[in-house]
Structure 1
Amino acid sequence: MRAARYYGRNDIRIDDLPEPEVGPGQVGIEVAWCGICGTDLHEYLEGPIFCPTPETPHPISGETAPVTLGHEFSGTVYAVGEGVDDLEVGRHVVVEPYIIHDDVDTGPESTDYHLSPDMGFIGLSGRGGGLGEKIAVQRRWVHPIADSVPLDQAALIEPLSVGYHAVQRSGAKAGDVALVGGAGPIGLLTSAVLKALGVTVVVSELSPLRRQKALEAGVADHALDPRETDVVAAVRELTGGRGADVAFECTSVQVVLDTLMEALRPTGVLVVVSIWGHRSEFDMFTLVMKEIDVRGTIAYVNSHPATIELVESGKIDLAPFITGRIGLEGLVEEGFDTLIHRNETAVKILVSPSGRGL
């Protein structure tokens, strides 16, 4: 089978690999679609971050570079290993792509397995990835989805789960006003979760395409261009002078962080969703004087079932966020280069490792 492999910074190659063996307790998945994530771009430009190096294996997977990329993917079960009796061949599934030590409690009541030591991700830290034609995954991390959800849309359930967990961390509730800084894939999907909960959403975004997507998809009530609109003043006007109840930083850009801090009401909540590759200059004075509550968020924890329910019930429509579909051979030129150099022209680009469906 073919797979896109990460060898190091600026070095991704399409290799021919043996198909994975489906062992006891595992599920064999034929990948239908895999999204390109901002984390993949960070690895390509600045990594390795979650990816191992050729000299340093990941402490859980034991793998060194090269590793297969891709952690936002959907597919169809083609085989089940010994002991797996609750999934059948042909079932549509998505993957919660964790690599976690075996002694960590990952049960349904756990709220912190995603913060456990050495945590890694399938498709970044080893154990195959969604940018390969097939993958074998432990049953715990495989989530069935209804056939009514198209597999291309299902590939967005993983990043939607990121938004779901971020909203959980914020404590946002119906009737609140949220300001989302950045309408890239995570900003838009976080907005989708907020709207599904009855929150009024204001998006600040430079890209006309992404502002239009936010409005057309119905995930934002207001989409502002910060070059033309005083975002802080606009939010205060919309809230009777109070400011936003919650804000989500989805860009890792300093000016966006500063805007959110200023636009929040006193005792408001700021959730930092983006992965910062550098230190920020944080406004400690505003933090203290407004008693802002700052919360980090990473990935998801037992979030997939509730996220899948939002999609299956029709409360969230993922179709508008798919702006491109490519084959594996176009991964770098059509996928990575577009999202790195022309990201204002795209939201989510999906890859078909097999080429079927294109």
Structure 2
Amino acid sequence: MRAARFYDRGDIRVEDIDPQPLEFGTARIDVAWCGICGTDLHEYLDGPIFCPACGKPHPISGEDAPVTLGHEFSGVVSEVGEGIDDLAVGDHVVVEPYIIADDVDTGPDSTTYHLSENMNFIGLAGRGGGLSENVVVRRRWIHKISDSVPLDQAALIEPLSVGYHAVERSGLSADGASPAGKTALIGGAGPIGLLTAAVLKALGVRVVMSELSELRRQKALDAGVADVVLNPSEVDVVAEVATLTDGVGADVAFECTSVQVVLDTLMDALRPTGVLVVVSIWGHRSEFDMHKLVMKELDVRGTIGYVNSHPKTIELVESGKIDLSPFITGKIGLDGLVDEGFDTLINRNETAVKILVSPSGNGID
């Protein structure tokens, strides 16, 4: 089968490889669509980061480069291994793409398995990936999804789960007190910022977004995930948020850029005792204003990935509370991964939100 393989920084090759063997407790998934993630771009530009370098196998998967890429994917079950009685050939599924040690509790009550030692991801550290025609996955990480959800939209469940977990980390969730009437400020309308906004809107939160790109500001409005979208090069975001909240400030803020000036703006725009959630991956140290943190009694929280978030995220999509179709801005085949996909997202990222890849080429117009 054909697959996109990471060899090293700047070296991704589409090549023929043998399919993975079906083992006890696993199922084979014919991949329908796989999204290109910012993490994939970082591996291409600066890696290996999550991908294990050649000669340095990952301690859990035991694999090293080359590895198959792709961790945001949907597909159809094509083969079911022994030991599985609740999946059938033809089921539509998405994958929670974790690689986690066997002795870690990944049960439904766990809130920390995503923070376990040597945690990594299918499609980055081995065990196949979504940028291949099919992939074999352990049952624990496979989630069924209704046939009523198109498979291209289903490929966005994984990044949407990142947004869902970020919202949970903020203290606003469907399981707590109603968040309606709260105001959230999001710094950055990239894929994760937009999908976090979609979760917030589904919960009844008023969403304000700050974004430089005109196209992404318009996407937030067209998709209906933001009530107010601000251009920080033209307006004082802090003053605008103060006006919108009768001088109080935002209840929660989500940093989705890893840009210092955005972090500073969010801290200024939060109300006293507000919550700041850092969603983006920072590859450098921040000049954090500790005095402001103390004087406003801000609550700063990090968030990474998701933990038992997929079922609730899927419910939001299946119920129609979140429409993922506006965020799909391109569809390509595997041969266009670097020249069409990566190049667009690296050099013209303001023109795209989520580019999907069809490893088989099916569904490409």
Does 2:316 correspond to 1:316? no
Deviations 1:54-75 (A, max 9, x none): 0211110010111100000000
Residue in structure 1 matching 2:226, options 220, 228, 234: 220
What letter is aligned with 2:84? V
How many Å apart are 1:19 and its aligned residue?
Answer: 1.4
Show structure 1 runs of 4+ deviating over 6 A: none
> Identity of paired residues, percent?
78
Deviations 1:30-76 (A, max 9, x none): 00000001111111111111110002111100101111000000000
What letter is aligned with 1:54? C
SS at structure 2 position matched to 1:236: helix
* Structure 2 match to 1:245: 251
Deviations 1:205-236 (A, max 9, x none): 11111111111111000011111111111000
What letter is aligned with 1:307? T
Q: CA separation in 2, counterparts of 1:271 and 1:55?
A: 37
Q: CA separation in 2, counterparts of 1:20 and 1:209?
A: 41
SS at structure 2 position matched to 1:203: strand
* Structure 1 match to 2:355: 349
Q: CA separation in 2, counterparts of 1:130 and 1:96?
A: 12
Does 2:132 correspond to 1:132? yes
* Structure 2 match to 1:82: 82
Paired residues for 1:297-312 under 5 Å: 297-312=303-318
Q: CA separation in 1, counterparts of 2:55 and 2:356?
A: 31
* Structure 1 match to 2:201: 195
* Structure 2 match to 1:186: 192
* Structure 2 match to 1:254: 260
Deviations 1:85-117 (A, max 9, x none): 100001100000000000111000000000011
Q: CA separation in 2, counterparts of 1:262 and 1:121?
A: 35
* Structure 1 match to 2:292: 286
What letter is aligned with 1:24? F
How many Å apart are 1:119 and its aligned residue?
Answer: 0.3
How many Å apart are 1:185 and its aligned residue?
Answer: 0.5
Q: CA separation in 2, counterparts of 1:7 and 1:235?
A: 46
Q: CA separation in 1, counterparts of 2:5 and 2:258?
A: 26
Of 8-17 and 72-81, deviating more is 8-17
How many Å apart are 1:354 and its aligned residue?
Answer: 0.7
* Structure 2 match to 1:91: 91
How many Å apart are 1:284 and its aligned residue?
Answer: 1.1
* Structure 1 match to 2:237: 231
* Structure 1 match to 2:213: 207
Does 2:341 correspond to 1:338? no
SS at structure 1 position matched to 2:261: helix
Paired residues for 1:150-165 under 5 Å: 150-165=150-165
SS at structure 1 position matched to 2:164: helix
How many Å apart are 1:286 and its aligned residue?
Answer: 0.8
Residue in structure 2 matching 1:271, options 277, 287, 294: 277
Q: CA separation in 2, counterparts of 1:83 and 1:128?
A: 21
How many Å apart are 1:285 and its aligned residue?
Answer: 1.3
User: Unaligned regions of 5+ residues in structure 1, if any?
Assistant: none
Paired residues for 1:34-183 under 5 Å: 34-172=34-172, 173-183=179-189
Of 88-97 and 283-292, deviating more is 283-292
* Structure 1 match to 2:333: 327
How many Å apart are 1:15 and its aligned residue?
Answer: 1.4
Q: CA separation in 1, counterparts of 2:46 and 2:180?
A: 39
* Structure 2 match to 1:20: 20
TM-score (structure 1 length as normaliser)? 0.99
Q: CA separation in 1, counterparts of 2:234 and 2:11?
A: 39
User: Unaligned regions of 5+ residues in structure 2, if any?
Assistant: 173-178
How many Å apart are 1:192 and its aligned residue?
Answer: 0.3
RMSD over equivalenced CA pairs, Å: 0.6
Q: CA separation in 2, counterparts of 1:47 and 1:187?
A: 24
Q: CA separation in 2, counterparts of 1:321 and 1:200?
A: 20
How many Å apart are 1:306 and its aligned residue?
Answer: 0.2
SS at structure 2 position matched to 1:281: coil
What letter is aligned with 1:19? P
Count of residues in Structure 1 that have an aligned counterpart in Structure 2? 358
